[in-house]
Amino acid sequence: MPLPEGIPTVRLTGRFLTPDGRALSGQVVLRAPSLVTFGEYDVILGGPVTAPLDSTGAFEVVLPATDAPGMNPSDWSYQVAEQLTGVPANRIYQILLPAESPEVDLADIAPTDPSTPSYVAVRGDSAYEVAVEQGFTGNVSQWLASLIGPQGVKGDTGSTGPTGDDAYEVAVAAGFVGTRAQWLASLIGPQGVKGDQGEAGTAGADGADGADGAPGVVQSVNGQSVAAVVLGAADVGAVPATAPGAANGVAQLDASGKVPAAQLPEGTGGGAVDSVNGETGVVVLDAADVGAATAAHTHTAAQVGAIATTARAAANGVASLDATTRLPIAQMPTAAPKNIWTPQSLGFQAWSVDPAGVANPTLKAAVVGRIYLSGINITEPTPVNRVVIHARGWGGSALVPAARFYAGIYNEAGSRIATSGQVSNLPEAGQITGTAPGAKNNHVGAVPVPLTATATLQPGRYWAAFLMSAGGATDFYYMHIQNEAPANPGNFFLGATAFQRHWCIPSGQTSLPTTVNQSTGEVGLDPAIMALAMV
């Protein structure tokens, strides 16, 4: 908001650059004596004036002249505080802005010696006077007009200046003591005394007479304008008094509010029922009277073209759906292609790998204290009570009485869900009836290790585990999948979490732990071929 018109002002400008011509940033703060009063204009001026530098390092501000007439105090000067970013020693000095110089550049009046901070500018020749001395001919207005060149390109919008003091802060600076609420309360004076009632106004002049009203007689009734109007039933939309009970008239109502029987059409029997389904009197109908079944009657599913609920999930019945609207795997036929070898076709419930496709040219002996783990995939609820290992040379506990064994099953989380406990008596391999001499005499074949209880495995991924906890280094030879350290071909997977089909805990084990962790296991050793069975 500009100052009141009549207060003489001076437009102060300035520009700050670095020695290499780059614009400085910061602001120039100008302070007058605490408060300056202009009684003629009913205004008090106070507080600092902050002029921020724009992108070119320039500022511009309009201020009251320091010699304006009628102000209190008089004969004062502005304190200039240069607050420039990157300048180690900012200056503070005093300047005069007389009204006779309406436009002043700070560079023309600022002190050149920063060691004299109390410097006060002494009035010199005005720019107009200097121009006249240099040969200009004309008055001040003509000289000012000569200074205006063509309009320049619009500059960039400057940064928002700091928020000025509000009225309360100005009051505190002027000496008010108290909180903001107390200051607001101090602005409200006491309510004035109620004034005297004014005199009654003069009565107004009478208005002009209105037009005459219409005569107070009926002009027409239901469209009839004769002097003596006689209305009939038709004139008022009524039924003639002769119509009730007459032919082509209207029916009457008796004392009960009903149409008398005499006015009902013939054949209605006067409104009374003669019989119901051939029965007269007080009639009560049963199911047989209306050809219906009794309430206790039931139908079989076959009678209504439906399937009995007992047929769901039953042999020769229908399949049911689970909560996800899918067929439960328990009601699916065995998921296996036809005419190929499966674990079930060779007496097992599941196996880690079909050993027919495995080649292992060298013998491998079970290492005492090493737990071998082989992955097995279960797709339907499967009961098992044996962990079976494929031996390549096991003469039986009668031949090797010091050997001790453990077998078990771990789920995918690594928790043990079945165990054999310590086993000291295992049969020799390759002795099933019909085994060829090469396998029988070299003790090659399946060696089942009994579990302490039958475990029914739900669909999921598991590890069969085998451990020889005591014995000699050449007591038990096993069929293995040839391995190329540091991994083995069975560990081929995708997904968020690994599932290693073949791995081991390499040494130091005397029994099967309750949990295992595949991420800390060894995968660079030759994995064992194992299966699960229900014997």
pLDDT per residue over 58-69, tens digit each? 999 999 999 989
Structure tokens at 92: 């503070």
User: In sequence order, what are the residues at sequence separation of 6 or more whose Cβ sits closer than 8 angstroms to the Cβ of residue 207?
Assistant: none
pLDDT per residue over 229-276, tens digit each? 777 777 777 778 887 878 877 888 888 878 887 777 776 655 566 777
More confident residue, 409 or 124: 409
pLDDT at 509 over 50: yes
pLDDT at 490 over 90: no
In a domain, 152, yes or no: no
| Structural contact between residues 496 and 397, judged by C-beta atoms closer than 8 angstroms | no
Domain end position, chosen among 105, 124, 143: 124
More confident residue, 73 or 221: 73
Picking from 5-19, 138-152, 357-371, 392-406, which range would have the lowest pLDDT averaged per residue? 138-152
What predicted TM-score, i.e. pTM, was given to this entire model?
Answer: 0.43
Q: How confident is the model at residue 114 (pLDDT cuts 50, 70, 90)?
A: very low
d(CA 238, CA 231): 11
d(CA 347, CA 533): 7
Q: How confident is the model at residue 54 (pLDDT cuts 50, 70, 90)?
A: very high
pLDDT at 327 over 90: no
pLDDT at 117 over 90: no
In a domain, 77, yes or no: yes
Q: What is the CATH number of the domain that holds 77?
A: 2.60.40.1120
Query: Which of 220-224, 343-347, 481-485 is the most confident on average?
Result: 343-347
**Residue 49 main-chain phi, psi, to 5 deg:** -115, 120
In a domain, 517, yes or no: yes
Query: Which of 37-41, 117-121, 445-449, 479-483 is the most confident on average?
Result: 445-449
Picking from 248-262, 316-330, 345-359, 521-535, which range would have the lowest pLDDT averaged per residue? 316-330
d(CA 217, CA 329): 101
Domain end position, chosen among 107, 124, 141: 124
In a domain, 99, yes or no: yes
Query: Which of 221-230, 358-367, 400-409 is the most confident on average?
Result: 400-409
More confident residue, 528 or 217: 528
Task: Give percent of the chain above pLDDT 90.
Answer: 45
DSSP 8-state symbol, 212: P
Domain end position, chosen among 97, 124, 151: 124
pLDDT at 96 over 50: yes
Strand pairing report for 477-478 and 382-393: antiparallel
| Count of CB atoms situated within 10 Å of the CB of 380 | 14
In a domain, 426, yes or no: yes
**Peptide bond before residue 343 is cis, with ω within 30 degrees of 0:** no
d(CA 66, CA 97): 5
**Peptide bond before residue 73 is cis, with ω within 30 degrees of 0:** yes
Which pLDDT value is given to residue 163? 80
d(CA 107, CA 16): 9
Give me the DSSP letters along 302-360.
GGGT---GGGBTSTTSB----TTSS--GGGSPP---TTS--TGGGT-SEESS-GGG---
Which pLDDT value is given to residue 434? 96
Structure tokens at 466: 């085998």
d(CA 49, CA 61): 9
Average pLDDT across the chain, whole number: 86
Ordered alpha helix ranges (H), 419-530: 437-441
Q: Is 188 helix (H, G, I), strand (E, B) or coil?
A: coil
Cα distances from 427 to residues 90, 350, 394, 450, 533, in angstroms, run 101, 21, 8, 11, 16
More confident residue, 382 or 221: 382
CB crowding 108-142: b at 16 or more within 10 Å, else e: ebbbeeeeeeebebeeeebbbeebbeeeeeeeeee
pLDDT at 460 over 90: yes
Distance of CA 491 to the CA centre of its chain: 40
Task: Give percent of the chain above pLDDT 70.
Answer: 91
Q: Is 437 helix (H, G, I), strand (E, B) or coil?
A: helix
d(CA 420, CA 422): 6
CA angle, 469 then 470 then 476, to 5°: 90
Which pLDDT value is given to residue 123? 60
**How many domains would you assign to the chain?**
2
Cα distances from 120 to residues 29, 263, 334, 369, in angstroms, run 17, 126, 108, 100
In a domain, 251, yes or no: no
Query: Which of 91-100, 280-289, 304-313, 387-396 is the most confident on average?
Result: 387-396
The whole domain housing 76 covers 9-124
d(CA 523, CA 113): 85
More confident residue, 488 or 29: 29
Which pLDDT value is given to residue 119? 47
| Structural contact between residues 98 and 66, judged by C-beta atoms closer than 8 angstroms | yes
CB crowding 244-275: b at 16 or more within 10 Å, else e: eeeeeeeeeeeeeeeeeeeeeeeeeeeeeeee
In a domain, 65, yes or no: yes
| Structural contact between residues 126 and 101, judged by C-beta atoms closer than 8 angstroms | yes
Which region holds residue 42: left if phi is over 0, alpha if psi is between -120 and 50, else beta?
left
Structure tokens at 392: 């390549």
In a domain, 311, yes or no: no
Give me the DSSP letters along 354-406.
-GGG----S--BPPTTPEEEEEEEE-S-EEEEEEEEEEEE---TTT-TT-EEE
Strand pairing report for 350-351 and 404-411: unpaired
